Amino acid sequence: MKQIYFDSAATTQLRDEVIDRMTDVLRLNFGNASSTHNYGRSSKSLIENSRKVIASYLNVSPSEIIFTSGGTEADNLVLRSAVRDLGVTEIITSKIEHHAILHTVDELVKEYGISVQYVNLEANGQINFTHLEALLNPSKKQLVSLMHINNEIGNKLDIEKAAKLCKANKALFHSDTVQSVGHYKLDLQQIPIDFLAASAHKFHGPKGVGFAFIRKNSGLRPLIFGGEQERGYRAGTESTHNIVGLEEALKLSYDNLEAESTAIKELKAYFIHQLKSNIPGVHFNGACEDLNESTYTLLNVCLPIAPEKAPLLQFQLDLKGIACSKGSACQSGSNQGSHVLSELLNKEQLNRPSVRFSFCKNNTKEEVDYVIGVLKDFTTLK
């Protein structure tokens, strides 16, 4: 049976070079980075070099990169501290953000009584900038949190426009860039963003490590206490091998970005063409059909399959060796439908199955053809 992995938005396969580098660190650099002897200094040196390399790709100071366990922790650190320590009384976000944002905001409402405003969406899920501007109020202490790339439908935010609009209105701006770091170049000297979150396993790095970008002199304070690691922002012994793996993965992603992104974009365009040609009535969710308005790494499609057959689709795809997702991986084990698609699709569309296919450098057109064949057989099956 074929084995085809079209779920890179959930996680990516480690690059061989990353595995090799991490293995070397695990074997040779096992010292605690807080120790003052040679073993500790060796680990500390690796961590600080990784911080410098990562900072260079974002055009920021190394001191503005804080290592975390991943994007969710980074999001929590920023949002919770902004309310607790910076006096933010209102958060502006959208209803199609990742649950790391939405659930955190819900808790902040309960704990601190802050107000929340949800920016209107266009029919394809893009942010309505006119409404965002109307919500901004320089007389309030506001934080805007809008993701760069939507993890379910792939919509791409004009992040520079959003950041400059927030800055002009004295609002803090945070972005969950988990699906974009490693896939898009972000010059944070040109983009006046205050905070962002990233996760290594979305760009062929290890799970369990990511980072927050925190603009210097922000006033943010830690969520985790116990030590002075990560400039006091995050207590706990650093995971040296994971941090080095993150650095290596990011370096390889950006060093190969032009060639790999071009190939993946061509693959996505081919997938779109094949879907249109072979699956009459297919609907592309959000803006994912538009190669300019969405990421090149993701497609989310609503298939013309009767509701009574819909529950069998995921089983059939898995049976045929195709790994994909019915929603974000964070909720694929839940019986609840996608909160993102619920905001965008009509009742008839919601009764049909939607599937997210997401791609990486390892995928091929032959794999697309195989998937199309399986989908075509299933949609025509009586």
- In this prediction, what percent of the chain has a pLDDT beyond 90? 92
pLDDT confidence of residue 305: 92
Q: Is the pLDDT confidence value at 331 over 50?
A: no
In 3-state terms, what secondary structure has residue 181?
A: strand
Residue in the structure block whose two tokens are 């592309």: 284
Report the 10 Å Cβ neighbour count for 173: 25
Rounded Cα–Cα distance for residues 287 and 293 (Å): 6
> 94-141, pLDDT tens digit by residue?
999 999 999 999 999 999 999 999 999 999 999 999 999 999 999 999
Residue in the structure block whose two tokens are 């938005």: 9
> 62-100, pLDDT tens digit by residue?
999 999 999 999 999 999 999 999 999 999 999 999 999
Q: Is the pLDDT confidence value at 335 over 60?
A: no
In 3-state terms, what secondary structure has residue 354?
A: strand
Rounded Cα–Cα distance for residues 360 and 381 (Å): 30
4-12+257-380 topology per CATH: Aspartate Aminotransferase, domain 1 (3.90.1150)
Q: Is the pLDDT confidence value at 328 over 50?
A: no
> 218-265, pLDDT tens digit by residue?
999 998 999 999 988 999 999 999 999 999 999 999 999 999 999 999
pLDDT confidence of residue 166: 98
Sign of CA dihedral 233, 239, 243, 246: negative
Give Rg (Cα) of the chain: 21
pLDDT confidence of residue 1: 74
Residue 228's Cα: distance from chain center in Å?
28
- 139, two tokens: 């007389």
pLDDT confidence of residue 327: 56
Rounded Cα–Cα distance for residues 360 and 341 (Å): 23
How confident is the model over 144-172, as a mean pLDDT? 98
**Residue 176 in contact with residue 195, Cβ under 8 Å?**
no
Instruction: pLDDT band for 326, please (50, 70, 90 cuts).
Output: confident
Nearest partner of 83 among 74, 91, 92, judged by Cα: 91
How confident is the model over 207-211, as a mean pLDDT? 98
Given 3.30.300.180, 2.10.109.10, 3.40.50.300, 3.40.640.10, which CATH number is that of 16-255? 3.40.640.10
H helices within the chain, ranges in order?
16-28, 38-58, 71-86, 99-112, 129-135, 159-168, 240-255, 257-278, 310-319, 339-344, 347-350, 365-380
pLDDT confidence of residue 336: 67
Please enumerate in sequence order all residues whose Cβ is within 8 A of that of 110, keeping only pairs 6 or more positions apart, or say none.
none
Name the catalytic one among 288, 302, 330, 360.
Answer: 330
pTM of the model: 0.94
How confident is the model over 342-347, as a mean pLDDT? 95
Q: Is the pLDDT confidence value at 329 over 80?
A: no
Torsions phi, psi for 200 (to 5 deg): -65, -35
330 is a catalytic site residue: yes
Please enumerate in sequence order all residues whose Cβ is within 8 A of that of 20, keeping only pairs 6 or more positions apart, or say none.
none
pLDDT confidence of residue 243: 98
Domain with CATH 3.90.1150.10 in the chain: 4-12+257-380
Domain with CATH 3.40.640.10 in the chain: 16-255
pLDDT confidence of residue 133: 98
